[in-house]
Structure 1
């Protein structure tokens, strides 16, 4: 069957008009003429007949198989434009529009946090990422996504899989780059006896792993795996959220700092370990709210040990179940809100009822961002600008920051 690709869907697949409706085609670009075998609503065995001018040679040898490389066949300019359009389309779906700043893109080999899959095999160990929409593990030596320090830790991950994995189960190995070395969290491993736990500690020592957590328990701590937020040193709990790249974090922080410039008191909601709270405290008093008590403790300790920061108070609070109310919010000159992918509908409803003059919104989901943005706009806020940040290079994932403001006179 021969088809012409009309557009890309939000997950990165090409979409073409087939005989019985939409057909989804992997690793193609709009305008390309392709041939393949129709299987349900998907085209398989795809061959490019007429390539797009935006098609490029993927820089990574694993691009065709690894699920982390869905858009390596597209030029940087195309991907940047496409990601901006995803956010614009999400806003348009809510009847909104906004000025857009130029997109900020993280460079190749900059991911400082990733989760790999590992499994023992008859001949040794298989470590890598899943193939797209598959349980198959694809080994990724020379990965072009991950920071070289993470790639250098692959032997440690392989040793851990060999020591505590099995041929019937799969391990999830989350590795985070820290100032002291790799911070590794393993889930799905075998329950280990004392001798096996000593073997894990030996592996951590021999591979200079800073911290190793196994099935929820810290089993080795060679060095404190600190992260630095604009000079403030924080030790996140194992597996805690961290922006995917240092460059992406810097871009989001710059946008948030610009949005709340001049504010004397700031509330940082869904604050994590202090990604925004601690840098913002150089110029303002900050009240940080986060649902995870361990992250709150890490933030507070980071503030106490830092120099030159204004007052930071921290509160452990589930903002989904108990959002901050308008009378609480009205004490602040600006609010930063950085929720997970589900967005912050309940909290945004309270923000919309408040008198807070400026809201800096950070989001990893354009759809829930647009939904929450509509609540603010309907309450009298305007969208001053949107800043798209691409720190998940070559993937359909989109992050952004935006500034909302309204007159409180």
Structure 2
């Protein structure tokens, strides 16, 4: 494999530099537009690249694990071009669906703001390794720091490792979901050793010593020292163990502001794929809301929070699989506005029903610009007009981006 010099022309959607050559695109991990790189090339990828000319946008990564860890992709890119790249991901996704619309500037994330993390632990001889996978590898990086995480999670890494060591499976990996709450860390282990029951006393003692709020193993709550509470606009909610919540509080608040602004003066709102009530509990302060969610744990958490909530208008909820049973045209008619925030697969079936409805306002929230663009195309073809598209950078230094789009019937 002979070496050659190539010039990077753009960043790909995963953050790799791309050189356009006569034999096709070449992907170069860690390279930036404008840089010249010397590398061997095999199957469209650069091997052992050496940067010969550096971009003025290149900066020093803020994490000592960055070169190996696959958790972040773009710590080496300055903030302004980094946010522009995220903006471009959304604009390109829209363009691919023939949607020509100006995308608003990216709302930046906050470093050290990730309150929710999913870590992995495994055995390495007699030692326990806890962290993230290396880039393009199944090997784990044993992390001692992580600047994108909430400091309370970083300070608990050694404690989490000691807990993991108690219930590691003999083969394979242990998944650890950690959530920073107002009462302390909520820790949920998945794929633990099947014989973990004999370790329950030791695990319980460690949880108390470490000051964690709750411990769950393989879906079962073993110990709740204090309810792991989240504050959603003044309403306390205890999420299901390992359940979905927005990864940063700053992004949750930014998304919520955009959703509420998009809904405007609507008096009746349907919040679809509502989760544990991130938007519904806020919308309930200004409108009558019906929340629909398929996950049983999220629905139960929302129900308990709703029972304690005060100062809300009429808020109801329903457990329903919206992928299989979207709200149909007749069910949508009572609502002035509909909010939907589906998983990465998007909300195609629901968008198709909205497209033939008379709902005046739709606010679409998404963590996947590609499926969002598909769903927006359906709504636009059904007569809706885009009002705004705003990216929110919840996952700093990663290729992931949240988006809020507002549409109205004219």
User: What is the TM-score with the length of structure 1 in the denominator?
Assistant: 0.97
Shift in Å, 1:168: 3.0
- Alpha-carbon distance between aligned partners in 2 of 1:154 and 1:274, rounded to the nearest angstrom: 29
2:393 is the counterpart of 1:384: no
Residue in 1 aligned with 2:79?
76
Residue in 2 aligned with 1:281?
284
Task: Describe the superposition over 1:54-107 as per-residue Cα deviations: whole angstroms up to 9, x where unpaired.
Answer: 111111111111111210110110111011111111111111122332211111
Equivalences for residues 119-198 of structure 1 within 5 A:
119-166=122-169, 168-192=171-195, 194-198=197-201
Residue in 2 aligned with 1:297?
300
Residue in 2 aligned with 1:310?
313
Shift in Å, 1:190: 0.6
Residue in 2 aligned with 1:23?
26
Preserved CA contact (<8 Å) 1:303 1:309: no
Residue in 1 aligned with 2:213?
210
2:335 is the counterpart of 1:346: no
Residue in 2 aligned with 1:103?
106
Shift in Å, 1:22: 1.6
Larger mean Cα displacement after TM superposition, 376-385 or 202-211? 202-211
2:260 is the counterpart of 1:260: no
Shift in Å, 1:294: 2.2
Secondary structure in structure 1 of the residue aligned to 2:316 = strand
- Alpha-carbon distance between aligned partners in 1 of 2:403 and 2:333, rounded to the nearest angstrom: 25
Larger mean Cα displacement after TM superposition, 302-311 or 16-25? 16-25
Larger mean Cα displacement after TM superposition, 364-373 or 163-172? 163-172
Give me the CA root mean square deviation. Answer: 1.2
Total equivalences in the alignment: 407
Instruction: List structure 1 runs of 4+ shifted beyond 4 angstroms.
Output: none
- Alpha-carbon distance between aligned partners in 2 of 1:304 and 1:354, rounded to the nearest angstrom: 32
Shift in Å, 1:237: 0.8
Shift in Å, 1:314: 0.3
Shift in Å, 1:43: 0.6
- Alpha-carbon distance between aligned partners in 2 of 1:300 and 1:229, rounded to the nearest angstrom: 14
Unaligned runs of 5+ residues in structure 1 are none
- Alpha-carbon distance between aligned partners in 1 of 2:22 and 2:168, rounded to the nearest angstrom: 47
Secondary structure in structure 2 of the residue aligned to 1:262 = coil
Unaligned runs of 5+ residues in structure 2 are none
Shift in Å, 1:50: 1.0
Preserved CA contact (<8 Å) 1:285 1:310: yes
Preserved CA contact (<8 Å) 2:73 2:399: yes
Shift in Å, 1:17: 2.5
Task: Describe the superposition over 1:16-63 as per-residue Cα deviations: whole angstroms up to 9, x where unpaired.
Answer: 134532211101111111111223221121111111111111111111
Secondary structure in structure 2 of the residue aligned to 1:104 = coil
Residue in 2 aligned with 1:93?
96
2:64 is the counterpart of 1:64: no
Larger mean Cα displacement after TM superposition, 115-124 or 134-143? 115-124
With over 3 angstroms needed to count, the CA separation of the structure-2 counterparts of 1:193 and 1:12, relative to structure 1, is closer
Residue in 1 aligned with 2:226?
223
User: What is the TM-score with the length of structure 2 in the denominator?
Assistant: 0.97
Preserved CA contact (<8 Å) 2:271 2:291: yes
- Alpha-carbon distance between aligned partners in 1 of 2:163 and 2:98, rounded to the nearest angstrom: 51
Preserved CA contact (<8 Å) 2:267 2:286: yes
- Alpha-carbon distance between aligned partners in 2 of 1:147 and 1:340, rounded to the nearest angstrom: 24
- Alpha-carbon distance between aligned partners in 1 of 2:15 and 2:163, rounded to the nearest angstrom: 34
Preserved CA contact (<8 Å) 1:362 1:400: yes
Preserved CA contact (<8 Å) 1:269 1:288: yes
2:241 is the counterpart of 1:238: yes
Preserved CA contact (<8 Å) 1:99 1:384: no
